[in-house]
Each structure stands twice: as C-alpha cells, then as structure tokens.
C-alpha cells in the first residue's frame, strides 16, 4: 500500500472536542479526532460486531484503535470500514488501520479512484471567501492514497455491508462519490461533509465547536449546484438525528429548523460569494 507523503504534512487544527466521544444512540458512537468525527456503529460490549465509518485525521489510527478497544474489546476488528468520502481528514488513519486490521473498505464507485491511487482531488481553494481556515487549506493534502485490493464498491442496491437497517444515499457536490447513511427506523443519518454543524470558515468556531449549521467545507467543495441538491435530498428524508463529519451531533427541533433553513437558503448560508469553484461555474 502506498502512503502518500501528503498525509504526513503538518495539520494545524484541533478542537475542544478532540479525543471525546458521545453516544448518540446505544449503537452509534461519535468520536472526535482534532476537528473531524468518526462513527462507531454497534452496541458496546466485548466481542460485539461493529463497523467504523470514516477514518479520521492523519496519524489518528492509534487513537481510533484504543477507542474501539474500550467499546468492543481487544482483538475485535470492525467488520468493515465505510467511507462517506475520501478527503484527507476522513481517510487519514486508514492505511495505518489496515495494517492492524485486515478488513474491507467500502466507498461509492466514484470515490474509489481516490483510494486506489488513480486520482487526486482538486487543490483546496485558498482564495475562497471564508476566513482563516481557507487560507490555511493549502496545507491540506489533496492527493489520493492507495489501499489496493482492500477497496470495495458499495452495492448498487444501496444496502450497507454489516449495517442491515441502513441505506446509503449518493450525496455528491463536496466530492463526486460522497455518500450519506440513513436508517429509516429512527431517521438517524450519518452525513459526512454533505452539511456540517460547525462553521468551518472560522478558526475559533472550529476550535470551540460552537453549534451552527453550514454547507460542506468551502475550500474543498468543487460543485455547489450538486451540493445543494444533496442537502435537499437529505432534508426531504426528515432526519431526527444527524452525525456530521464536523461539529457536534444534532437532533430533533434544532436539526429540523436549521436543516430546513440551510436547504431553503443554501446560496447565502453555504455558497461562498467568490472563489475558484464559484467563479468557474458562473
């Protein structure tokens, strides 16, 4: 497997939530690494089956493994790792984890080229309107990684491996093969970066994790029209619980009100006034 040198690059960001976890439902545990969340699906208990959703920031494998051992016991690897998408902050620990755990990794077919060494993401847009984080985003790696034969395509029937009550939903825009996961039973949703609950543009808000709905992180989003459609698709499902890739998990009234607002006012809340990918599409 090829470890891109880019994942070794300095990552300047963290948050007050880093290293903390929250049990959102008895079988959904959201764990924060610096600025990004990973999700453990499965009921806590020694030897229980579980699935990891996303793989955190670079160099986070050890932390993810320790947290998994606390919840599911030692020598109990996940059944699979599912990726919402393959940006550096969601696959950072992946190669190291696959050295510890021999497990399959599932992603949308359009996202596979980024984890099998065939494609790099466009460079982050450091010119985008959106403050300090955008300006720092030149440090973010955009090169793909290569996990070889461990990469698998999600089934076209929208079932999710080892998560029987869940469906995956294609929610592109932020990346081509971005997916969200949805469970009809309790309307729980894992949305990756389709929308977030912290304002990514402001460094202090990222640090304090102040709760605020937002569209996908601006500096890494190349297709705003599609991103808006994806938010509409998710809103139409009427989620009761949402675990986002960035920011705290949200539910109920707050989620309904803010997601409706984001969907109806996407242009002003989410889309930057100027930037490489905005100006290109005009």
Q: Is the CB of 42 or the CB of 177 nearer to Zn ion?
A: 177
Residue nearest Zn ion, CB atom distance: 87
Tokens of 180: 């969200």
Q: Is the CB of 86 or the CB of 160 nearer to Zn ion?
A: 86
Residue 84 CB, nearest distance to Zn ion (Å)?
A: 8
d(C-alpha 72, C-alpha 93), whole Å: 19
Residue 73 CB, nearest distance to Zn ion (Å)?
A: 29
Q: Is the CB of 89 or the CB of 111 nearer to Zn ion?
A: 89
Strands (E), the chain: 21-25, 28-33, 36-41, 51-53, 81-82, 105-107, 151-153, 166-170, 179-183, 188-192, 241-244, 250-251
Q: State which of positions 164-193 bind Zn ion (CB under 5 A).
A: 193
Q: How many CB atoms lie within 10 A of CB 192?
A: 28
Tell me the number of residues near Zn ion by CB under 5 A: 4
Q: State which of positions 80-109 bind Zn ion (CB under 5 A).
A: 87, 89
Q: Is the CB of 27 or the CB of 245 nearer to Zn ion?
A: 245
Residue 152 CB, nearest distance to Zn ion (Å)?
A: 20
Q: What are phi and psi of 37, to 5 degrees?
A: -105, 145
Q: State which of positions 47-76 bind Zn ion (CB under 5 A).
A: none
Q: Is the CB of 92 or the CB of 245 nearer to Zn ion?
A: 245
d(C-alpha 221, C-alpha 173), whole Å: 7
DSSP secondary structure letters along 78-106: -S-EE-S---HHHHTTHHHHHHH----EE
Residue 11 CB, nearest distance to Zn ion (Å)?
A: 12
Q: Is the CB of 41 or the CB of 195 nearer to Zn ion?
A: 195
d(C-alpha 172, C-alpha 215), whole Å: 12
User: Binding mask 117-156 vs Zn ion (x if CB under 5 A, - otherwise)?
Assistant: ----------------------------------------
Residue pair 275/222 in contact (Cβ under 8 Å)? The answer is: no
Q: State which of positions 205-264 bind Zn ion (CB under 5 A).
A: 245
Residue 35 CB, nearest distance to Zn ion (Å)?
A: 8
Q: How far is CA 88 from CA 34, 44, 104, 239, 259, in A?
A: 13, 28, 19, 27, 26
d(C-alpha 26, C-alpha 21), whole Å: 13
Residue 23 CB, nearest distance to Zn ion (Å)?
A: 22
Tokens of 14: 């963290």
Residue 174 CB, nearest distance to Zn ion (Å)?
A: 5
Q: Is the CB of 59 or the CB of 79 nearer to Zn ion?
A: 59
| Binding site residues, Zn ion, CB under 5 A | 87, 89, 193, 245
């Amino acid at each position: 497997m090829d470890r891109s040198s880019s994942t070794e690059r300095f990552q300047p960001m963290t948050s007050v939530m880093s290293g903390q976890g929250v049990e959102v439902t008895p079988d959904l545990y959201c764990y924060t690494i610096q600025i990004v969340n990973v999700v453990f699906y499965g009921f806590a208990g020694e030897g229980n089956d579980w699935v990891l959703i996303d793989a955190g920031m670079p160099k986070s494998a050890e932390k993810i493994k320790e947290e998994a051992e606390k919840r599911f016991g030692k020598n109990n690897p996940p059944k699979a790792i599912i990726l919402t998408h393959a940006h550096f902050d969601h696959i950072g620990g992946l190669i190291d984890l696959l050295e510890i755990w021999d497990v399959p990794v599932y992603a949308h077919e359009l996202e596979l080229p980024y984890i099998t060494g065939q494609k790099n993401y466009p460079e982050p847009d450091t010119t985008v309107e959106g403050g300090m984080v955008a300006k720092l985003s030149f440090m973010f790696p955009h090169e793909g990684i290569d996990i070889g034969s461990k990469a698998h395509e999600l089934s076209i029937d929208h079932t999710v491996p080892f998560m029987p009550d869940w469906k995956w939903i294609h929610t592109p825009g932020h990346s081509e093969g971005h997916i969200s996961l949805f469970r009809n039973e309790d309307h729980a949703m894992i949305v990756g970066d389709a929308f977030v609950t912290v304002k990514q543009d402001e460094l202090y808000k990222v640090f304090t994790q102040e709760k605020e709905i937002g569209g996908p992180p601006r500096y890494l989003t190349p297709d705003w029209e599609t991103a808006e459609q994806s938010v509409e698709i998710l809103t139409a499902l009427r989620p009761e619980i949402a675990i986002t890739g960035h920011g705290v998990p949200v539910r109920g009234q707050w989620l309904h009100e803010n997601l409706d607002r984001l969907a109806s006012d996407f242009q002003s809340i989410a889309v930057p006034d100027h930037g490489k990918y905005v100006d290109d599409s005009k």
